[in-house]
Amino acid sequence: MALINKSHPEEFILLGFADCPWLELPLFVFLLMTYPMAMTGNIAIILVSSLDPRLHSPMYFFLTNLSLLDMCYTTSIVPQMLFNLGSAKKTISYVGCTIQLYFFHIMGGTECLLLAVMSLDRYVAICKPLRYTLIMSRRICILLVSTVWLTGVIYAVSEATVTLQLPLCGLNKLDHLVCEIPVLIKTACGEKGANELTLSVVCTFMLAVPLCLILASYACIGHAVFKIKSSKGQKKAFGTCSSHLIVVFLFYGPAISMYLQSPSSISRNQPKFMTLFYAVVTPALNPFIYTLRNKDVKGALGNLGRSIFTSQ
């Protein structure tokens, strides 16, 4: 580790896959393809949900927020990764690392909670269909989304601020692709058991509790769906829920394996692959998962494409 005089360095060296340099070019090409795909797909979801009157419902209101989150999530890390992979100097300033740390965790924490709210919306739609418009009113939807965003900000600001107070003893090399809380805790010197315990407790609330709520919601949904006598009705109900369940498992699986372990017990390359998966791959796949399995979104996208083509 490089030693400097200050407790906090002016910049960090992001080692990335320094032990596997042959991975850098394929990873650069992968990010160069995936990032525009993620941005284009999520912008399309936001546009069609806003412009098509048929999609002005709570489900698509939450989906629009998810797309906005995914765009900000990938943008907080991918441009910096592309820059570092394309140059010999793989650094990020201390200020840049701090900004990335806050934004990355605000978006990640908010997405954890938003996915739980989306499962609640599906539960009400299928299990309480006659009261759906009353329960999931515009006011309630805005209140839920505002609460989710506020909680994500509080989580990220508090946890990242505590992590940034850890002494680094002049160590300025991070064995990672981005600035992330578990990696900074692992890099810090001195006693950090309290920080690891705090991270585990907070992440249990932010990851395990919402996931339990999601699973409970879908258990109730499954029970209600099997009571539907029409096979067509069952198929439609499963169709509206399967996309969200796929997104949940793609996001929560890697995130849980990353954040509910002690940072000191995480293997060297695990954080890098996990981060790439839940912060790059999942946001890029989300628009395709929702559009390929949703006739309303596909129809709205087709109408949008035809209107653009006709105007040209």
As for how many domains the chain has, the answer is 1
Residue 2, pLDDT score = 41
**Domain assignment of residue 2, yes or no:** no
Domain-located, residue 54: yes
pTM confidence score: 0.86
d(CA 252, CA 274): 11
Range of the domain at 221: 11-307
Residue 161 has which token pair? 């601020």
Does 5 reside within a domain? no
Give the number of other Cβ atoms within 10 Å of residue 140's Cβ: 14
CATH code for the domain in which residue 81 is found: 1.20.1070.10
Give residue 139's identity as a one-letter amino acid code: R
Give the per-residue pLDDT at 207: 86
Q: Where are the alpha helices (DSSP H) in the chain?
A: 24-51, 58-75, 78-85, 94-127, 132-135, 138-164, 181-187, 193-203, 209-225, 231-259, 270-276, 282-292, 295-311
The predicted pLDDT at position 304 comes to 61
Q: For the chain, list residues with pLDDT below 70.
A: 1-7, 233-234, 236-237, 239-240, 262-269, 292-312
Q: What is the pLDDT of residue 4?
A: 38
Q: pLDDT at position 193, please?
A: 76
* Strand 173-174 to 91-93 pairing: unpaired
Coil, strand or helix at 14? strand
For residue 18, the model assigns a pLDDT of 74
Residue 1 lies in a domain: no
Residue 312, in any domain of the structure: no
245 in a domain, yes or no?
A: yes
